[in-house]
Structure 1
Amino acid sequence: MASVDSARPDFEALKRAQQALRESEARYRGLVEGSIQGISIHQDFIVRFANPAFARMFGYEAPAQVIGRNALTLVAAEDRDRLEAYSLARLHGEPVPSRYEFQGMRRDGARVWIEGVISLTTWDSRPATLATLFDLTERKQLEQQFLQSQKMEAVGRLAGGIAHDFNNLLTVILGRAELLLHRLGAEGPGRRDVELIHATGRRAVALTQQLLAVSRRQVLKPQVLDLNAVVSGLSPMLRRVIGEDLELAVALDPDLGRVVADPSQIEQVILNLVVNARDAMPGVGRLTIETGNADLDETYARQHAGARPGPHVMLAVSDSGAGMDEATRARIFEPFFTTKEWGTGLGLATVHGVVTQSGGNIWVYSEPGRGTTFKIYLPRVEEAASPAPAVESTVERPRGSETVLLVEDDDDVRGLAREALEEVGYTVLDARASQEALTLAARTAGSISLLITDVVMPRMGGRALAAGLARVRPGIRVLYVSGYAPDAIVSHEILEQGVAFLPKPFTPLALAQKVREVLDAPGAGAA
């Protein structure tokens, strides 16, 4: 009887220990099952245990779908040998990293960046490997987008550095060629050679503008746009661009919102994407252009650097071509990267630059053999679309008789501009520097209707000159010219309201038209 009584406390203690063990296991299971990190145990590379987060990380709905699988099948092919070597060395007691990164393969074939924290454990009394996995995909995407942004900034500094001098040279080449063509007449000797010089100069201008677009430093002239109208207006030309063997399908949302963008640049974006799609389908194929309204959420904004949540307008260009692998897709927006033998590598980089400078975001989806889709998202606005600009009906240089003060530190550009303006009737006072211009204006008895000034000049820039001249000649009008778009010209990457600006390189025709436009605009007169 005594022995039975003495055994009762041990039985009660055992019950308490079992209850504590069950509670501990429940807490442990709750922590593991509810963890946002993927947790798994594998033995001989076979998954023996996995929590729900581990299954979701690889695109599965439940742990049962991954238990029993070879863990190496969840790893990208290029990382499998490395991870297998780590695991075998760890089991043999050899020193290996306990924390490392690798790429996993989701059920749908997509890749996921993972950081693994690995240690030894046991399973059924045999050695096993415990893996705690962290999803780094979003961070890696942001890092890649940040690196891309840095590359763009580097190209921007390069473009900004060369654009001023290069555009000065192109202004003289194009301007002199145009003056010569005007003097030669339709059948003049050597006209074909001069036309070739002029056409080659225009090609150089296009390359310079692409560099500035890539670097997001070009001067934009935004207005409220209806993208449906832009696509519809381009469609006839796009059908000629893609040829007869490719089918062009256009699906436009009739309730599409409006965006604020430079219409000529958006047209260039569409054209570049269509040409890229055409080149991806050397035989027959289908090219689709779509528009629609979209609301971007916080998740999308976090995963795409520069994107903002809220209402947007979507423009999509899709093709049924060869598609791209991940390595190519990661580099398609890099300046000068191309998979074409004849390409410059600036087409898609220009698209990225224009969309980004317009406050939008571009996303691409592509798989080898399954085509490519580019989706552009631009912020949606509620204003009505701006009216289309009037088409110029004449190519004759408009004339004038006013007095113009021309300030330009490049002698060749200044000489060209003076000659071009004098040919159409203006009286031109020219100066090489701002101080010289102020002195010349003070000595001039008559009125001066217009100041034409380069923006960036030694010692005193164009804005300071205009301010100083306005104090003594308060009615004078100002036209700024420049070969690049620094902060002095561009505010928030668009032309400041009320500032007349003519980008270099310009032709005598463009100069005469702009001068006439500024002089004829409502407002103050000569001073």
Structure 2
Amino acid sequence: MPEKFKELTIETIDKNLLDRSPDCIYLHDLKGNFLDANLAALDLLGLTKNQLAAMNFSSLLKESQIDRALKAIREILEKGYESGVTEYELVTRNGETIYMETKGILIYQDEKPCAILGIGRDITHRRQTEAALRKSEEKYRFLIESATDGIIIVQDDVIRFANSRMVEMTGYSKEEFVNGHFADFIVTDNREDVIRQFRELVSSHKTIKTISFKGWHKHEKEIIVQAKIVEIEWEEKPAGLVFLRDITAEKQYETRVMQTQKMEAIGTLSGGIAHDFNNILGAIVLNAEMALDDVEQDTEAEYSIQQILKSSQRAKRLVDQILTFSREAITEKKPLEFGIIIKETLKMLRSVIPATINITQYIPTDIGMVMADPAQLQQMVVNLINNAVDAMKENGGDLEITLGQIEVEESPAGFDVEPGEYIQLRIKDTGKGIRPKDLKRIFDPFFTTRKSENRTGLGLSVVHGIVSVNNGFIKVDNEEGIGTVFSVSFPRVKEMEMSVKQEMADELAGTGKILFVDDEPALIDAGKRLLQRLGYEVITAESGMKAHELFCRNPESFDLVITDTTMPNMTGIELSKELHAVRPDLPIIVCSGFSELISAEIASEMGIQAYIMKPFIRQEMADAIRKALSKNP
């Protein structure tokens, strides 16, 4: 498998889900070379994964089908996303001819199309059924009844026949189907459009007549159905033979692929914004600190500069929160002040909560700690608040957020937790409440009662998952028409004795010659002046290449290099490697507004003395310089 596609194999998308799928799911590059496939595809073709990886799809197609396949690839590339449904005639390893209906989804890497994810379905049986029905309805009734597709015959918009699979798929009996109106089984909001398209397809001369729509299950849940229509005669009158397939799971999977790619794009965008924004903040913080040195104490000027510094720190925390929600973070459990996380998250959300919703909060910050991942807790709080706000968007209402301590004596139903002290978050809304029949399904993935493209139905299922993995439990109190209360509880962590080594800092001032590298002019100016105030001789460079040139003129003259990470032409990481190649003992400090290529651990492995996130304060930089120089006397 080509190196650049390793991260796009089906296993990395969702191996467990795909291998349970009865559909054939495969991945090939833009030239048709197979990269991967799930078990269903390998079993159908009679191939091993290694055999498939050495093949091009053209070797499986009959010669007459190759042009159609190439046309489908061109269609996907032109659309930039997906192809329509296409049928192919394939030859398996055993020489057996099978028919497959496929749909391709374009996969991007680094914002460029690189591969196609195909979802295929063996329709050999369906093709045989269609041919059989044209010859004799009675002779092949057994095939219809044992088909994996639901099959109905519609005549003048009335259902005249339904097979057993339709009963399984929708929960309705054959008696309820026969002589029932076809429109009664279509979701109300698009019923007229579906009926109009259905009538047009029945009377058209298209070879393949396919339509997708939302249908009703008897238990009032929606299913997404794909219907293929064949024009026939039934009792000497025109009718439509309709093959129906439940494609709900397939559509949900497509949504997950799209959502994953969208979040990757958002993560890339927010990372770039974070880098630039933190550079701006860095210049503000350093200039404010130097200004603070130059003003008298207990004056309006001193107060104003202190406020600038406080606001800068708030802005930095906001950037960190945006990055937390836009990228996949490594789960790291640690003791956390639950109340502080809730307050910070509420601050972030307050501007997007409608003014018609009154917020009451009782969130003590000294109630105790919980052991959890901070990003997961923030996501859980956001999802719960968004859920409450959605319930009240139409008419407004009251949102009450309370944090308290409870004693748990026995594990609640559905959760395996230990008795003891717990910290409980209660989020109460005065919305419409949840219908009793929906209560048991609110934590199911993709379940939602709100018809909106912005709602994936994943919010509460994610909350349930976060609560479970962090050893907590969740409870829902609901009264339809009155409102809902979600209570989530986590074990309270007993206060741990923390040994903090207090370093008696020497004077911040030092001596030595520093090469300071950054591509942001404002930071070069502020950084140079700050370091000079600390007593250092400073040489600046506005790029990695310029810094390399200056250093190589006299490598031994520099005591330390401080460099930004993200710079054009030569990054801080590349610069560090080049400088160490010339002088391995050179102390280097790397600074970053945001980069996924560097971390404290990676920096340490590279022999870099310190890694500092922007915006940094004077104390932080002074400490890093002293430590870096002390390691290289």
TM-score by length of 1: 0.61
Which of 452, 457, 464 aligns to 1:328? It is: 452
- 1:225 corresponds to 2:333: yes
Equivalent position amino acid for 1:525 in 2 = N
| Pairing of 1:142-153 with structure 2 (within 5 A) | 142-153=253-264
| Pairing of 1:349-364 with structure 2 (within 5 A) | none
Confirm or deny: 8 A CA contact 2:516 2:528 kept in the other structure: yes
- 1:175 corresponds to 2:175: no
- 1:39 corresponds to 2:143: no
Confirm or deny: 8 A CA contact 2:292 2:305 kept in the other structure: yes
Q: In the TM superposition, what whole-angstrom CA distance separates every residue of 1:48-77 from its partner, at most 9, and x where no partner exists?
A: 32223223333x175455445432122122
Measured after TM superposition, the shift of residue 144 of structure 1 is: 2.8
Q: Supply the distance in 1 between the matched residues of 2:579 and 2:344 (Cα, whole angstroms).
A: 52
Q: Supply the distance in 2 between the matched residues of 1:287 and 1:130 (Cα, whole angstroms).
A: 58
Equivalent position amino acid for 2:219 in 1 = D
Q: In the TM superposition, what whole-angstrom CA distance separates every residue of 1:84-113 from its partner, at most 9, and x where no partner exists?
A: 33455677x577883222221223333222
Measured after TM superposition, the shift of residue 453 of structure 1 is: 1.0
- Quote the residue 1:234 is aligned against: 338
- Quote the residue 1:401 is aligned against: 510
Q: In the TM superposition, what whole-angstrom CA distance separates every residue of 1:180-200 from its partner, at most 9, and x where no partner exists?
A: 235436512323433443344
What SS is found at the alignment partner of 2:378? helix
Measured after TM superposition, the shift of residue 81 of structure 1 is: 1.0
Equivalent position amino acid for 1:72 in 2 = A
Confirm or deny: 8 A CA contact 1:155 1:214 kept in the other structure: no
- Quote the residue 2:51 is aligned against: none
- Quote the residue 2:398 is aligned against: 283
| Pairing of 1:35-434 with structure 2 (within 5 A) | 35-58=147-170, 60=171, 62-64=173-175, 66-86=177-197, 98-123=209-234, 127-184=238-295, 186-206=297-317, 208-213=319-324, 215-216=326-327, 222=330, 224-225=332-333, 230=336, 233-235=337-339, 238=342, 263-277=373-387, 279-280=389-390, 282-283=397-398, 322=431, 325-328=449-452, 330-331=454-455, 399=508, 401=510, 403=512, 404-424=514-534, 426=536, 428-434=538-544
Equivalent position amino acid for 2:632 in 1 = G
- Quote the residue 1:470 is aligned against: 580
Confirm or deny: 8 A CA contact 2:399 2:427 kept in the other structure: no
Q: Supply the distance in 2 between the matched residues of 1:278 and 1:390 (Cα, whole angstroms).
A: 41
Q: Which has the higher contact order (CA 8 A, sep 6+)?
A: 1
What SS is found at the alignment partner of 1:475? coil
Query: What percent of counterpart residues are identical?
Result: 24
What SS is found at the alignment partner of 1:328? coil
Residues 330 and 177 of structure 1: is their aligned pair in 2 closer, same or farther, counting only changes over 3 Å?
same
- 1:453 corresponds to 2:563: yes
Q: In the TM superposition, what whole-angstrom CA distance separates every residue of 1:250-308 from its partner, at most 9, and x where no partner exists?
A: xxxxxx9x99xxx44334334433543564564267899999999xxxxxxxxxxxxxx
- Quote the residue 1:361 is aligned against: none
What SS is found at the alignment partner of 2:327? coil
What SS is found at the alignment partner of 2:386? helix
Which of 464, 467, 483 aligns to 2:593? It is: 483
Between the two proteins, the alignment pairs up a number of residues equal to 418
Q: In the TM superposition, what whole-angstrom CA distance separates every residue of 1:367-405 from its partner, at most 9, and x where no partner exists?
A: x97879999xxxxxxxxxxx9997797999973635343
TM-score by length of 2: 0.53
Residues 118 and 465 of structure 1: is their aligned pair in 2 closer, same or farther, counting only changes over 3 Å?
closer
Range moving further from structure 2, 459-468 or 150-159: 150-159
- Quote the residue 1:8 is aligned against: none
Measured after TM superposition, the shift of residue 445 of structure 1 is: 5.4
Q: Supply the distance in 2 between the matched residues of 1:157 and 1:200 (Cα, whole angstroms).
A: 26
Range moving further from structure 2, 272-281 or 67-76: 272-281
- 1:28 corresponds to 2:140: yes
Q: Which runs of 5+ in 2 are unaligned?
A: 1-135, 347-357, 364-369, 405-411, 417-424, 434-447, 467-479, 489-495
Q: Supply the distance in 2 between the matched residues of 1:287 and 1:129 (Cα, whole angstroms).
A: 59
What SS is found at the alignment partner of 2:376? helix
